[in-house]
Structure formats: C-alpha cells, structure tokens
Amino acid sequence: MLERFSLKNILENMTMGVILVDSDRNLIYMNQLVTEITGYEIEDVNTLEKGFQIIFPDPDKRKEIKNIFNVKLKDRGHYNAVFPIKTKYGKIKYLEFRINLMEDDYLLINLVNVSERIAQAKELKETKERLEMAVEAADIGIWDWNIKTGKFQYNEHGAEMLGFEKNELDGEFSTWKNLIYEEDKELIEQKLAEYFNGETDTFISEHRIKTKSGDIIWIRNIGRIVEVDQDGSPLRAIGVHINIDEYKKREKEIEFLSFHDELTGLYNRRYLENEIERLSESRKYPVSIIVGDLDKLKKVNDTFGHKAGDEYIVNSARILESVVRNEDIVARTGGDEFVILLPETDRSTAIKVCERIRRRFTDYNAHAPENFSKEFSISLGSCTAESSEEDLGICYNIADQRMYVNKEKNDRG
C-alpha cells in the first residue's frame, strides 16, 4: 500500500512545515507549507546561514540563537524552541522549531506556526494585568470561569462583595447562577448567548444578585473569553463584577424625578406628552382627556400662606388619584393645573369621572380642618377622541378650552 505514495507527496501533505538541510548546510527541500507560513521560496533561502540572516535580521539576536542552536544540537542531537521570525512580507510570526540531527549530518527541521497561541497567551497576561490594576484602583471583584469544567472562581474581594468568605463558595458555575435574582436569569442567558454567538465583543450585563444575608444588590458584570480550543470553542473566560447598587438607586431617583412632579409625586408634563404620543399610535381608543385647574389657589396662598397652598395642591392630587384606574395617567402640568388621560374610555364615562371628582372635592370641604379653606374646588373640562383618526393633541386643547369656560363660571359664582 505504501508503495503507492512517494515521499514527496507525504511531506507536502504534512500539517507542519518541513525543511531538509544537507551536511554542507544547503537547503535541499522545503515543503509548500513553509512557504505559506514564511512567504519564502527555497530559492530565497538556499543555505541555512542565509535563512538565519533573513528571518533573524537583528545581528545580536541572530548570533545568540545560532550559538544556542549549535550547542544544543551538538549535545543532544535535537533542539526544540519558539522564536519570533520576520516573514518575507515584514510580518512577525512566532514559530516552533523542531530540529533533529539525521544520518550523514543532515538536518530535519519542522516548523509549526504558534503565533495564535502566543497572541492568546499574551492577551491573557495583559488582561490579567489590567484586571489586577483595576482591582487595586476600584471596588470590584474578579471571576474566572472554566467553561469546559464548569468551575467558577471568585477572588477574595469578589466573594466578600456578596457577603461570603471565598471558601464558602464551592466554585461551581451553577452556584453563581443560583445567586442571580430569578427575574434576571433570562437576561443573563440572553447576554451570554449573544456573546458566545459573536454578536457582541464583550459580555456586559447589569443584573441583580442575592447576597449571603438575602439582600438583593445590583451588579455590573463584564467579561471576555481568553482561551479557546483548536476549533475555536471557548474554554475559559475571566471578568469583573462591580457593585452598582447605589448607582442604581440614584438612577431610579433621577428617573422618577425626570417623569414625576416633585411636590405631588404625580407624573409631570414630560411624561404626559410621551404618553399622549404613545396612545396616539395605540389601539386603546376611545381616549378621553380631562384637564383640571384648581380654583382660587392664589387666594389660599395669600390668606393661609404658600405652605397651605402646597397642601391644597397635594390633597387635590390624592383626590384625582382616588377616582381613576391604575392604568389611567394623572399628571400635574403646572402650578395648579392637572391632566388625566383615560385610555379605552368613552365620552359618557369621562363625564362621570368629572362628576366623581367634583363630589370628592365637596366631600373633602365638608370634613376639612377649621383652619383650611372651604373653597376647595377644581374646574374641569373633558374631550374624547373616538379613534386614532382624531388628533389627541387637538383633543387636549379642546378639553383645556372647556376647562377655562367652566373656570370663568366658577370665578363668577
């Protein structure tokens, strides 16, 4: 069977570069893979000395490598080492040289391109160094995930962030997953899948996690794959997690303030405008809008002071909230102005809501403290858009105009 294959065919189909050097150190054979790796043809490198000169252009480095090469080969008859070489096109590649001294003083040199492996090792080292610097500079923890074995290790600070001693965590990936807040587990799976599928360059997730004491805190997780197998499948990932719980609380407060009125806690004009735009494109018609304006707020401020006026406004907000559904929107749009959005509410229902509001104000006056104004009332106007063909902005303006007509009547009364 072997007779069917020539030695040259075998050498040309090997998965490593092959060079044959005679006793005078002339290159007498070089397979195609060597050319693919280095860019050089055998005509470019016809002697071992010339090979040294072109792949190791630095004379001091070349001398050092040649001395090691000669000593090791003489003592052992073989020599293995990894060196950076310069290719024909000026690129630096890391090659593993496997050199054997053969009969008649011939040399068999095998070359393996290990540039990718070296680059990965370098990236791993640099990543570790960056992480170590980050740990020293900030309040963060480090994790190391062996994807193949399922081992998941925290450094000491990472464990402490969750309320554990490092030895209290068993180092299993499943343990880490079990600590994730239940509602956020699907998000984590999605983020990991996106990263492993190459949709993102880095795994980044903000999620909640349970501490040893049972508290729930927000964590920002950032990680990358640092080791893969020959097929490119991930073997290992490392990353950091940062406690962002205080940041999330502040973010929630800022978000609340950006869409809510500070005095009453109702939604503000910005949120109202967003909701009007959203409802305009929804299927929740008919949509009714009620605009309200407190009566005689200036008189209350002048008579009882602005603190009483603020109480007047807050009590009005509570009354408006009490007469609507959870899905309705109540907003304070100005000093004494309120707006109510009622999705899936027809005209007759909106009128009934207005009647309930007026009754609640009357009831409140009947039970108000003696030192509180008995003129606690609100002027209202409403309008209903029956379908998406009617502009909610125009509907809002009509409700506002109707409110002012009623307000003039109340002021005269």
- Residues in CB range of 133: below 8 A, 6 or more apart: none
Q: How many CA atoms lie within 13 A of 338 on its CB side?
A: 28
Q: Is the pLDDT of residue 262 over 60?
A: yes
User: pLDDT tier at 87 (50, 70, 90 boundaries)?
Assistant: very high
DSSP 93-135: EEEEEEEEE-GGG-EEEEEEE-HHHHHHHHHHHHHHHHHHHHH
The DSSP 8-state label assigned to residue 47 in this structure reads B
Residue 161's nearest CA partner among 186, 179, 146 is 179
CA–CA separation, 377 and 410 (whole Å): 9
Q: Select the more confidently predicted residue: 178 or 299.
A: 178
Residue 112's nearest CA partner among 85, 148, 147 is 85
Four-residue CA torsion sign, 384, 390, 392, 394 = negative
pLDDT digits (tens, 9 = 90+) for 172-190: 888 888 899 999 999 999 9
What is the rounded average pLDDT of the residues 30-48? 92
* Count of CB atoms situated within 10 Å of the CB of 121: 14
What is the rounded average pLDDT of the residues 35-43? 93
Q: Is 336 annotated as catalytic?
A: yes
Average pLDDT, the chain: 87
User: pLDDT tier at 1 (50, 70, 90 boundaries)?
Assistant: very low
CA–CA separation, 93 and 83 (whole Å): 8
What is the rounded average pLDDT of the residues 347-352? 95
Look up residue 400 and give its two tokens: 């506002």
Look up residue 308 and give its two tokens: 């009483």
The catalytically annotated residue of 75, 170, 336, 363 is 336
What is the rounded average pLDDT of the residues 246-254? 84
Q: Is the pLDDT of residue 42 over 80?
A: yes
CA–CA separation, 184 and 153 (whole Å): 21
